[in-house]
Structure 1
Amino acid sequence: MRRRDFLRQLACMAALINYPHTVKALETNSTEKWQSAQALPLRLQEIYPAAHNGRLYIAGGIAARWGIPYFTNRCISYDPVEDSWREEAELPENLHHAALVSTGERLFLIGGFNGAYTHIWKMRSSVYELTESGWQPCGHLPQPQAEGVVSKAPDGSVHIVTGQSPLGQANSSRTDHREVKHHYRWDVDNQKQTAQWQQLAPIPTARNSATGGWVDNQLIITGGRTAQGNLSATEIYDPDDDRWRKASPLPLPQAGLASVTVNDGIIVFGGEMFTPKEQVFGNVWRYSLSQDRWTSLPSLPTPRHGLGAVRFNNRIHVVGGATNPSGSGTSDVNEVLIL
C-alpha cells in the first residue's frame, strides 16, 4: 500500500469523517446493541489481539500519550468477567502490526514491524511464545511478513495468509515492501520447540490489512488494500482441496479492519481508506457462509481503524484503534457488541 510519509501522517490531526451508509444490506438485525467496558490502560492502534485462557490479550502496537505516538513493547490483558486490565510480561522488542494467536494452550505473537523512529517499517519474521518466564523466541516465519491474517484452524494449526513482505534485501521503509499472496501453515503440535511452516495454495488476491477467520473448516478472508486502494474481495480456503474460491464481496471496500467468527460466518468491524478520500469506517457487517451474503449490524459507536476484536460467547469486545485515518486519533476505547 502506498502511504504518505508516516511521520507526517502522525502529525496530521484531520477531522473524523463518518462514511455514509450508501450500501443497502439485504436485511438489518436490530437485536444487537452496544455497551461500553473498561477502557484500555493506554491508547493503542495497529493491534491484533486474541482471546486466551478466558482473557483478551494485546501485545505491542502504536501507542499515544498526549497526542504523541510511540511504539511499545507492553503486553496487557483484560478479564471480561471482572471488567479489568492487568500488565503482562513485556515483549523483547517494540512491535506494531504483530499478530497474536492462541491455540488454546499456547499464545504466540507472529511477524509485524520492529517499530523505532529510525526504521519504522522494519518487518520481522519472528515468532514469540508467552511462557511462565515471559516472551520467548519460537522460530521464524519463512520470510518477514506483516499485516496479514493470522488464525488457528480447527485442526489446531496456525495459518498466516497474505499481508506484505520485503521486495528484496532492503527492509526499513514502506516502499521496501509489497503485498503478497503467501499462505503458510504451522503444525504447532508436531513442532513444540521451533516453528516450521508449510507453504499452501496462495490466496488469489494479494492484499494487506485484511481480516478473517475459520468457520466450519473454511478460512474466510475479506477486505484489505493494495497500493491502488481498498478491496472488497472475499475469498474462502478449503483445506481438503487446498483451494481458494471467490465469495460475495464485502459491501464496502474496507481496510485496517477487525473481525470475529460466529456461527456460520464472521462479523467485520471498522477500517479506513485513503483514496478517493481519507476517512474512517463505522460500518459493521455480518457474513453468512451458508447463504454467501452480507447483512449490516449496528455501527460502531466510535468509528475507527487499526482496532482489534475478540469474542467471548455473545459479547464481542472491539478495542483500541484510531478515530482518524493513519497515525492520529489513537484511542483507548473498549466497546462491546451484545449479540
Structure 2
Amino acid sequence: MKLYAASVTLILAATAAASPASSPCSRSNFRWVNLPAVGGGAPIQEQGTAATETHIYLLGGIPHDANNSQPAVPSTNTFEAYSFKERTWKSLTPIPKAFTHTNAAAVNGKIYLLGGLTGDGVDKIWHAVGDCFVYDIAKDKWTTLPSMPDGQGRGSSAVGISGNTIYLAGGMERLEVFENGAQTSLDIVTAYDTKSGTWSTLPSLPAPRDHVGGAIIGRRFFVVGGRDHGQPNVRNTTWTLDLDAPSRGWEAHAEMPTARGGLSMGVIGDRYIGTFGGEGNPDPASNGVYNETEVYDVKKDCWFKLPAMPHPRHGTVAASVHGRIYIPGGGILIGAGPVDTFDAFELDL
C-alpha cells in the first residue's frame, strides 16, 4: 500500500465466472433486480442521487430527450422520488436552480444539494456553481443554503456521508461538451457539516478526479476510478482517507481491474463495494460505454469481476440502501444518451 501526503420485479440470478486461482477474492451468487422505469418512463442522466430508508431521490440532470447532435444541452431542475413501499415514481417540487452532475446526499430527513454544473442551453458548456440547497422531506420545502466557499464550486464529485457530515472529493469546474473541449478536473476534498452549516477542507486527492465513485465504509472514505481532464483519460485507482486521522493523507489500495469514468458505485454491508458501467470504452462496438461489474472486497483488499451488466450505461449515481445498490437512469451512448432503466444489484453475503 502507498500513503499520499496531504415495476414488477424480475429477479435475475447468476453465478459469477470463476476467479483465478491466485485471487483471494471470489463471490458466486448475485442478482439483478429490474424495477419500475424512472419517472414512469422519463429518461434521466447526469443527475444527483440520494436515498433514505423509504425513497430514492433524483436531482437535476440533462433533458430526457438529450442527444449528441443537439447544438446545446441545458441542465434541468427536475426532482423526483421513488417509493420503496408504493413502487412508484412521483415528481416533487423542482430544485430552485437547474443542475447537471449534481452533488447530492440525504442526511437526517433532508436532501442536500451541494453544487454541480449548470448550462443555459445556449452552448455546449457546463460551468461549476457552488449554490447549495436543502429540501425538507416532511415539509416539502426547499431552502437556500450559503454557497460553497470561493473556488470550491464543482460537480461530479465523489460523495460520502458519515453521521451529520457530507464529504465531497474531486469533481470538475468546467465541461465543454464538444470534440476536444476542455474538461477541468479537480483534486480538492471538502466536508459540509449539516448541523453547523460549516465547510472544512481535507487533504487533496493524490491526483485530480471527476465522474468518480465515492462511498464511506466505517470511517474510511473510498474514492474509486473516475477520469482526469477528459473522457478518454479514465483511471482505475482505489484511494481511502481515514476520517479519524485525515492528516495521514490518502492511501492507495488494489486497483480496479477496468479503468472507468462515469461509473456507478455503491456498498453492500460493511465489506463490498460494487462498481458498474462507465464511459470511455475505446471499443467501437461499445458506443463508448462499459458493461463491467467489478466488486472490491474491503477486508481482503482485492477485486473480482462478475458477468457484464444486463443494462450497460454511464452517467448516473447509484444509491446503497436495504442491502442493494440501486442504479437509476444513465446514458447508453458516450456523451448524451439518457434512458429510463432502473435496476438494483444484490450480492449474497
TM-score range, shorter chain: 0.7 to 0.9
Residues 53-68 of structure 1 mapped to structure 2, 5 A cutoff:
53-65=53-65
Residues 87 and 238 (structure 1), Cα distance of their counterparts in 2 relative to 1, 3 Å cut: same
The one-letter amino acid paired with 2:220 is Q
Counterpart position of 1:310: 319
Between the aligned partners of 1:332 and 1:320, the Cα distance in structure 2 is 5
* Pairwise CA distance, 1:145: 1.0
Residues 69-148 of structure 1 mapped to structure 2, 5 A cutoff:
71-118=75-122, 120-131=125-136, 132=139, 134-142=141-149, 143-148=152-157
* Pairwise CA distance, 1:84: 0.6
Between the aligned partners of 1:173 and 1:65, the Cα distance in structure 2 is 16
Cα pair 2:53 2:322 within 8 Å, conserved:
no
Between the aligned partners of 2:146 and 2:20, the Cα distance in structure 1 is 46
Deviations 1:269-320 (Å, cap 9, x if unpaired)?
Answer: 1101065866211111111121111112343211000023223323332110
Residues 24 and 156 (structure 1), Cα distance of their counterparts in 2 relative to 1, 3 Å cut: farther
Between the aligned partners of 1:156 and 1:288, the Cα distance in structure 2 is 26
- Which among 189, 206, 209 is matched to residue 207 of structure 1? 209
Cα pair 2:117 2:173 within 8 Å, conserved:
no
* Pairwise CA distance, 1:94: 1.7
* 1:71 counterpart SS class: coil
* 2:132 counterpart SS class: strand
Between the aligned partners of 1:89 and 1:141, the Cα distance in structure 2 is 23
Between the aligned partners of 1:229 and 1:282, the Cα distance in structure 2 is 18
Counterpart position of 2:9: none
The one-letter amino acid paired with 2:103 is A
Between the aligned partners of 1:199 and 1:66, the Cα distance in structure 2 is 36
- Aligned-residue CA RMSD (Å): 2.5
Between the aligned partners of 1:35 and 1:181, the Cα distance in structure 2 is 35
Residues 303 and 28 (structure 1), Cα distance of their counterparts in 2 relative to 1, 3 Å cut: farther
* Pairwise CA distance, 1:257: 0.8
TM-score, normalised relative to structure 1: 0.83
Counterpart position of 2:199: 197
1:44 correspondence with 2:52:
no
* Pairwise CA distance, 1:137: 1.1
TM-score, normalised relative to structure 2: 0.81
Aligned residues: 308
Cα pair 2:52 2:321 within 8 Å, conserved:
no
Counterpart position of 1:259: 265
The one-letter amino acid paired with 2:335 is S
Between the aligned partners of 2:222 and 2:117, the Cα distance in structure 1 is 24
* Pairwise CA distance, 1:338: 2.9
* Pairwise CA distance, 1:139: 1.2
Cα pair 1:183 1:202 within 8 Å, conserved:
yes
Cα pair 1:216 1:264 within 8 Å, conserved:
no
State the identity %: 22
Residues 182 and 70 (structure 1), Cα distance of their counterparts in 2 relative to 1, 3 Å cut: closer
* 2:44 counterpart SS class: strand
Between the aligned partners of 2:128 and 2:114, the Cα distance in structure 1 is 11
Between the aligned partners of 2:182 and 2:324, the Cα distance in structure 1 is 40
Cα pair 2:281 2:289 within 8 Å, conserved:
no
Gaps of 5+ in 1: 1-20
